[in-house]
Amino acid sequence: MPVEEALARLIALAEASPILEREVVKLADADGRVLADALVSTLDLPPWPNSAMDGYALRLADWTGEPLVVSQRIFAGQAPAPMQSGTCARIFTGAPLPAGADCVEMQENVEVQADQRVSFRQSLRVGQNIRAQGQETRAGEQVLAAGMVLGPIELGLAASLGCAELTVLRRPRVAVLSTGDELVEPGLALGPGQIYNSNRRVLCSWLARLECEVVDAGILPDDLEKTRQRLGELKDVDLILSTGGVSVGEADFLGVALREEGDLSLWKLAIKPGKPLTFGHFRGVPVIGLPGNPASTLVTFALLTRPYLLRRLGVADVAPLQFAVPAAFSWTKPGNRREYLRGRLEQGRAVIYPNQSSGVLRSAAWADGLVEVLEGRTLAEGDPVNFIPFSELLG
Ligand code: AMP
Ligand code: MG
């Protein structure tokens, strides 16, 4: 199954079970949350015309070449008197323009006479150095669309409009299950044949960054009865996300449990790393089963699970920003799966980690993102490849 098709199916599944419950949170608590209602401005911003410079305000028609008396000083935060004709006003950045003024000259371009009158050395034009009322936004205008992920910039915009709270969608509750008899948690001693559980840490921390409520369901042994029991305990979550146990030919306890008490699709994805992926339900709760190799978990979470979760919250724009850069490597054997190589940019060119094994998480720690090599392609050095920075995927 091509990556696009898997993504389209997951997006359709997400749209079929949207998370709709909402809550009102303080602006300070809204970072990373998804806006539930469009934000419409209740005021003009700026609310009045104001000066973009420290300088002098005047009515242009009053400047005849004769120096002008300064009739008032206006600091930011003050309400000015109307412009007195035949004078100018000392004005500072952000201060409201006095009624009747139509021009501001910066202080560097004026000459203050011994008698404190001001003359203007350069030609002036109407509107110069004035920030018009409503230049940023007008009352009634939509400033942020529903379904957008709020970050520092959006929150700053909401603050500039005077919002103290926003209505956001509730956090998705995601249970993380690590399957495999070989897994041991860090801090404990390794027995023969055992390895430390790394996927749990990757996924729990990543989900927390995506503002999910993480239910850490620990390690699930390769055992059908225990699998049924553990899944049954995860009733009130929006998604069960498991890793491991989806490779072809393995005793597939998760699959058996889902078939018995729900449904299951097994997808063979044309993606490398990360070929096998399962989607199903257990007693109505959606389940995504990611492959267990750490780099496979990472890539399938980043490219498939993240957009699925975002779309359940109604986020419209779930595709990460990506851009083409020249490859600093060549690719001679065309693959039948789309590869997501762990790589980074050096002098604007994509360099890949030497060991791209799906078991090597260090490749991703070294890298700054994923380098996409399309199926059926060969590449010469310098050919364009898509680069998806991790920074796009992690938040
Ligand atoms: P599986 O999909 O269960 O066959 O696992 C594929 C490979 O990933 C095996 O080498 C597993 O030991 C490894 N693996 C599975 N789960 C984890 C995990 N949570 N942390 C680290 N490695 C894992
Ligand atoms: Mg396993």
Give the atom of ligand 1 at the shortest distance from the alpha carbon of 293.
8
* Separation between Cα atoms, residue 99 and residue 243, nearest integer Å: 67
pLDDT at residue number 248: 58
Which residues are CB-neighbours of 34 under 8 A, at least 6 positions away?
147, 148, 149, 150, 168, 169, 211, 310, 313, 314, 315
* Confidence tier at 113 by pLDDT (50, 70, 90): very high
Query: Atom 7, ligand 1: which residue's CA is nearest?
Result: 293
pLDDT digits (tens, 9 = 90+) for 22-44: 999 999 999 999 999 999 999 99
What's the mean pLDDT in 45-62? 98
* Ligand 1 within 6 A of CB of 198: yes
Give the atom of ligand 1 at the shortest distance from the alpha carbon of 197.
20
* Separation between Cα atoms, residue 171 and residue 34, nearest integer Å: 9
User: Which one of 222, 242, 243 would you pick to mutate in the ligand 1 pocket, going by the greatest count of ligand atoms within 8 A of its CB?
Assistant: 243
pLDDT digits (tens, 9 = 90+) for 143-165: 999 999 999 999 999 999 999 99
Query: Atom 10, ligand 1: which residue's CA is nearest?
Result: 293
Q: Domain 3-20+171-312 - what CATH class?
A: alpha beta
Give me 352's structure tokens.
């890949």
pLDDT, averaged across the chain: 96
Please tell me the chain's helix, strand, coil percentages from 3-state DSSP, rounded to the nearest 5.
Answer: 25, 30, 45
User: Which one of 181, 194, 199, 205 would you pick to mutate in the ligand 1 pocket, going by the greatest count of ligand atoms within 8 A of its CB?
Assistant: 199
pLDDT at residue number 328: 98
Query: Atom 5, ligand 1: which residue's CA is nearest?
Result: 292
**Beta strands at 195-196 and 183-184: parallel, antiparallel or unpaired:** parallel
Q: What percent of the chain has pLDDT over 90?
A: 97
pTM comes to 0.94
* Confidence tier at 251 by pLDDT (50, 70, 90): low
Ligand 1 centroid–CA 220 distance in Å is 12
Query: Atom 2, ligand 1: which residue's CA is nearest?
Result: 244
Ligand 2 centroid–CA 182 distance in Å is 8
* Ligand 1 within 6 A of CB of 197: yes
pLDDT at residue number 247: 66
pLDDT digits (tens, 9 = 90+) for 178-194: 999 999 999 999 999 99
* Ligand 1 within 6 A of CB of 227: no
Which residues are CB-neighbours of 189 under 8 A, at least 6 positions away?
none
Break the chain into its structural domains and give their ranges: 3-20+171-312, 22-44+136-169, 50-131, 323-392
The fold of the 323-392 domain, in CATH, is Beta-clip (2.40.340)
Query: What architecture is domain 50-131?
Result: Beta Complex (2.170)
22-44+136-169 carries CATH number 1.25.40.10: no
* Separation between Cα atoms, residue 135 and residue 313, nearest integer Å: 32
Ion ligand 2 residues within 5 Å by Cβ: 180, 244-245
